[in-house]
Structure 1
Amino acid sequence: MEDPIDGLKNLESMTVNPDKHTLNVTWIERESKLLYTIFPANRLGEWEKTIPNIQQQIEDDLRSLNAFLTEVVQQGNPSDERWESICFNLQSVGANLFEMLIPSEVAKKVRDWKIGSPVIISTNEQWIPWELMYDGEDFWGKKFIIARSPRLSDSQDLPDKNRPESKGKRQIKRIVNIVGGDVPSSEAERATHLFSNLLPPEAVQLLAKQPISSLVKAIPGTDALHFTCHGHLEPHLLQIAGDKNKTRIENLLPETILRLPLEPGSLVFANACASTVPVLTFGKFSSFGWKFYQRGADAFIGTLGAVPVKYAFNFAEIVYRELFNPDEKITIGQAVAKAKEVAANERNLFWLLYCIYGDPDFSIVQQKNSKEEDHAN
């Protein structure tokens, strides 16, 4: 296994931010042990947490959380009193995860971190839902801008350790907008026009219910991919095609990602949704973010499971509105944080399920329109 310092080399290109913290996590499976280090290494030491059968416990907790969120969806618009009960019970689930996984010394340090600051989780595991940790004050996914930085060389099942690196400024001149099969017609129509007010029509290529072969042909020269499609656990795939049988034949598999002609430095947003109720699949769905990161995406936004489609679309709309803000340079971490804030104020709990892989300081260089360019000349 690599030295933790070497595992942080992929963070060197990220923007310097005095409030940014890096929590280095190493999972030693044979000992059922988690090792934690807070970097810079000359400031803080190493702590460990040994938890027998931890992966099974996490799976059980997420299954229980899935049932809880399903009941919340069925409530419609709850009264104030019922909403307080929902929040208290959800916080209790997060508090249990926090106490089970986080050493007390680390918990004490983290409580001193500035609210809203970026927290990089440099990790070799794919199954811990960091966003759901509740530290007694708030969920980490709301309190901080959490971003996973996978340490690829720590994972034996990832043969390609030479992750493609981006070069030059980040611009989104072309985006492929993928709308999958079985998305309700009204939401599919909204997804089709997601970028109508943000980018010129020629900058967006729509793929509606198209197979993986069409996606492969569309990707070269693309700066960003956006998926609005159903996420499935068995079989494990994103349903990009119109295949009603949800087979592996035409849809996007985690194994497929490493062969996609993705441009290094791309932005990928996989908005995995479900028809009416959530489907938590974290530990499997995380592999989409892991694979896209390995393939060279600078930033990947995904979910810990499939979010009900109406909530999923609203969330994406806010993220892109913030990211393409012509008056202010907004990072992807800040854009996601804003979308979470709006969702929380609307009593939508599903903001908790959104996660970031890669650089939370990813931002784009706004393109000047023709009038601005003429004026500048």
Structure 2
Amino acid sequence: MSDDPLAVLSVTVSEEDGGTRYRYELRTSGGTEFGALEQEYSLVVSQSLVRDLCEEIDGILKSALDASLGGTPSSGSDLRDELVRTGQTLYSQLFRPVKGTDEPALITKVRESQGPLMVRSNETLVPWELLHDGTDFLGLTHDLGQGSVVRTSPHPGREIGPVEKALIIGDPLEDLPAASHEAARVAEWFTARGAECTVLRGSKATLANVVRELTSTQYDLLHYCGHVTVRSDPAKSGLLLHQRRLLDEHALETAAVVGAPPVVFVNGCKAVGPVANLCLSFMTLGSKVVIGTRAEVGEESAKRFAETFYRELLDDKTAGSAMREARRAVLSEPDCAWASFLLYGNPSVHITGRNPAPARPRVQERGEYSPEAVELLDRVNAAAKGIVTSTDLLFGLVTCPELQPSMRRTIGSTNLAVLTATLYGVIGADVGVDARPGSTNGRAPDVQRSDSVEAALVKAKEIASADGRSMVTPQDIAAAYVETGGGSSARLLEIINVSLQQLLPPDSARAESQQAPTRTSSGLAAQCFDDDGRLRTDAFDDSAVRALRAALLLAAGRRTAIGSDTFLQGFGIAGSAVLRAALEKQGDVGKRAVRALSSPTPRRKHFSERSLTALGTAKPAATGAPADEVSLLLALLADEASGARKVLEGLGVDGVRLIEDLRRPDRE
């Protein structure tokens, strides 16, 4: 089930005279049952009623916990029935037929779909996983994840990989013994599975310690159990640490330099307001999977849920599948804890690197597009969920560097920023979409397009041909997008009260395409590479080459292109004296940046047994002198069966002679 195609339900909520309109768009990416879909449906609802029902759900969850703590399981059973009734009423309000018609096809597809379901919305009120269709809750019948439209461009973050390093924070205010126990159990659980855990409990969980850890180490997981503060503004929501210091979005921003933990689990009690805003803060900083709690849960339920979720996740199950299994594990608990946990992020992702890669443009077509247009289409297809829709195309256009100056002039920088953030929230915040020029992420050669996208690209070729050009430019695609109507994505512009013609005036776009010479990144950088595409090291000094090579290793480890952030970290890891001196002029802030950008110190677990032997041989315990390169290399090459010797043999190097030459005092 977890390998079925992802269905994305986008929900846009807007105020209208006489009510609130909910607009739904469902996108799926094939499958034998439905094929590729792009469907729409909208209705006006009473938002006051929706809000009352959501508040009832929160009240039921609180009462269920109180009943379980008071030892009255019968009350818990009655409350579960209330949760069903309220979930059914909410479902009927949000998914009802319009004016007595049959159930909309979109709702039928949502209810009957078997694959993972992603719900994205510009509001965080509705607990989508607790809607009940008369048979069961959506959170129990679907691998369900949630996303949201945010007003700031999210950090791309880093790719989800195996959990090797975990930061665990428990009971910072020292008033929740259960939270302290939970932190210890989670650490014990992960340590037994080979992960390296850093545990901060009580007085150790200070703001300075937590920020220091997050900015100096690339943690794969952050697990927090304690108090949370949740406000209407996500940037002001956060985790309460020792002495009631708040770990909020601003304090976390420096963590984005080394990469926010891809997986975040927040078991926070006594939250006030929509807990979704706290999850969004982590998503904005680059986290890919965030687990939060809508209401306080019992200690035993929290333990069983977390262990089940982590076990399923480490067993290469998708995040959504792990979430559903964890809910089932505590389904019979009287505190209704299963209904308190929610997943923010793409439910179809794996943490062990088996995530399917979106497609690139068809190989046979790439010669028909300019390099800038190819970059645009790469971004479009990276955003797609198997089928490229008009919303994906709009995302590519809005994030296209060649088009952005024109859009700033026509709609203003503020509107463009809001639209960009909206599109990231709808498409890219949780799927690792890299909108930087040249970032292609190794996509596959085939792709499926909706009719609206296909029509726009055909029209773009016609525009280029009519102007006597053989290659399609981004300006051609923009003009074609407008002339063909923009498909369903044009409705997203209603959020900022902008029309297609205002955003991308066809005439001015074509004029810029004809007047401006085509900029090719390869042309600008041609002098830096040889005929085989290799970097010419003689074009840079030694310190710059070291930084470039460090950036290459970083990018290879993350399986991404060398972006500007990776480029900068390359200078830090290479120990750039120039960068260090310039940063340290800014005082403590600059010094912290130096530490964040510098190379982390390897730990024992990072070395194989042979490498550990080499380290011990090169640096005997009895000596106080530091080991130099020669002693390390000699120790490394001493073992004839080592991988190091095999690498040299593969390169045609005589290992024995190399060792002799290293030992000679005149080797320099």
Cα distance in structure 1, aligned partners of 2:138 and 2:271: 18
Preserved CA contact (<8 Å) 1:265 1:299: no
* Corresponding residue of 2:190: 198
**When the two structures are superposed, what TM-score results if normalisation uses the length of structure 1?**
0.76
Cα distance in structure 2, aligned partners of 1:183 and 1:48: 47
Give the one of 299, 313, 337 matched to 1:350: 337
Cα distance in structure 1, aligned partners of 2:286 and 2:163: 16
Q: Deviations over 1:331-370 (max 9, x none)?
A: 2222221111110144451111111111223323399996
Preserved CA contact (<8 Å) 1:122 1:151: yes
1:291-370 equivalence runs, <5 A: 291-325=281-315, 329-365=316-352
Preserved CA contact (<8 Å) 1:340 1:352: yes
Instruction: Report deviation, 1:18.
Output: 3.5
Preserved CA contact (<8 Å) 2:54 2:127: no
Please say which of residues 176-185 and 295-304 is displaced more in the overlay. Answer: 176-185
Higher relative contact order, structure no. (Cα contacts within 8 Å, ≥ 6 residues apart): 1
Please say which of residues 223-232 and 29-38 is displaced more in the overlay. Answer: 29-38
- Kindly provide the amino acid, as one letter, of the partner of residue 135 in structure 2: E
Instruction: Report deviation, 1:36.
Output: 0.7
Q: Deviations over 1:33-66 (max 9, x none)?
A: 2111111484423323332435643454345434
Root-mean-square deviation (Å): 3.5
Preserved CA contact (<8 Å) 2:207 2:242: no
Preserved CA contact (<8 Å) 1:267 1:300: yes
Preserved CA contact (<8 Å) 1:323 1:364: yes
Cα distance in structure 2, aligned partners of 1:264 and 1:238: 15
Cα distance in structure 1, aligned partners of 2:11 and 2:117: 12
SS at match of 1:306: coil
Q: Which residues of structure 1 form unaligned runs of 5+?
A: 1-15, 153-157, 274-278
* Corresponding residue of 1:177: 168
Cα distance in structure 1, aligned partners of 2:135 and 2:607: 45
Give the one of 80, 89, 94 matched to 2:87: 94
**When the two structures are superposed, what TM-score results if normalisation uses the length of structure 2?**
0.45
Preserved CA contact (<8 Å) 1:182 1:230: no
The reply on whether 1:76 has 2:71 as its aligned counterpart is yes
- Kindly provide the amino acid, as one letter, of the partner of residue 96 in structure 2: P
Preserved CA contact (<8 Å) 1:211 1:240: no
Cα distance in structure 2, aligned partners of 1:198 and 1:183: 25
- Kindly provide the amino acid, as one letter, of the partner of residue 184 in structure 2: T
Instruction: Report deviation, 1:19.
Output: 4.4
Cα 1:255–1:83, aligned 2, differ >3 Å: closer, same or farther? same
Cα distance in structure 1, aligned partners of 2:241 and 2:116: 36
SS at match of 1:196: helix
How many equivalent pairs are there?
Answer: 336
Cα distance in structure 1, aligned partners of 2:37 and 2:321: 29
Larger Rg: 2
Preserved CA contact (<8 Å) 1:231 1:305: no
Q: Of Structure 1 and Structure 2, which has the larger fraction of its residues in strand?
A: 1
SS at match of 1:365: coil
- Kindly provide the amino acid, as one letter, of the partner of residue 303 in structure 2: F
Preserved CA contact (<8 Å) 1:36 1:47: yes
Q: Deviations over 1:277-321 (max 9, x none)?
A: xx56452x2111111111111111112233234422331122122
Preserved CA contact (<8 Å) 1:224 1:266: yes
SS at match of 2:155: coil
Cα distance in structure 2, aligned partners of 1:121 and 1:17: 18
Cα distance in structure 2, aligned partners of 1:369 and 1:336: 33
Q: Deviations over 1:128-181 (max 9, x none)?
A: 1111111101111111121012233xxxxx2x32532434x6132211101122
* Corresponding residue of 1:271: 267
Cα distance in structure 2, aligned partners of 1:369 and 1:196: 22
Preserved CA contact (<8 Å) 1:26 1:35: yes
Instruction: Report deviation, 1:70.
Output: 4.4
SS at match of 2:331: helix
- Kindly provide the amino acid, as one letter, of the partner of residue 289 in structure 2: A
Cα distance in structure 1, aligned partners of 2:608 and 2:198: 21
Instruction: Report deviation, 1:225.
Output: 0.7
- Kindly provide the amino acid, as one letter, of the partner of residue 318 in structure 2: T
Cα 1:370–1:86, aligned 2, differ >3 Å: closer, same or farther? farther
Please say which of residues 28-37 and 136-145 is displaced more in the overlay. Answer: 28-37
- Kindly provide the amino acid, as one letter, of the partner of residue 122 in structure 2: N
Q: Deviations over 1:178-218 (max 9, x none)?
A: 11224543551342231324336871111113122221100
* Corresponding residue of 2:206: 211
Cα 1:56–1:322, aligned 2, differ >3 Å: closer, same or farther? closer
Preserved CA contact (<8 Å) 1:147 1:356: yes
Preserved CA contact (<8 Å) 1:315 1:340: yes
Cα distance in structure 1, aligned partners of 2:301 and 2:237: 20
Cα 1:334–1:42, aligned 2, differ >3 Å: closer, same or farther? closer
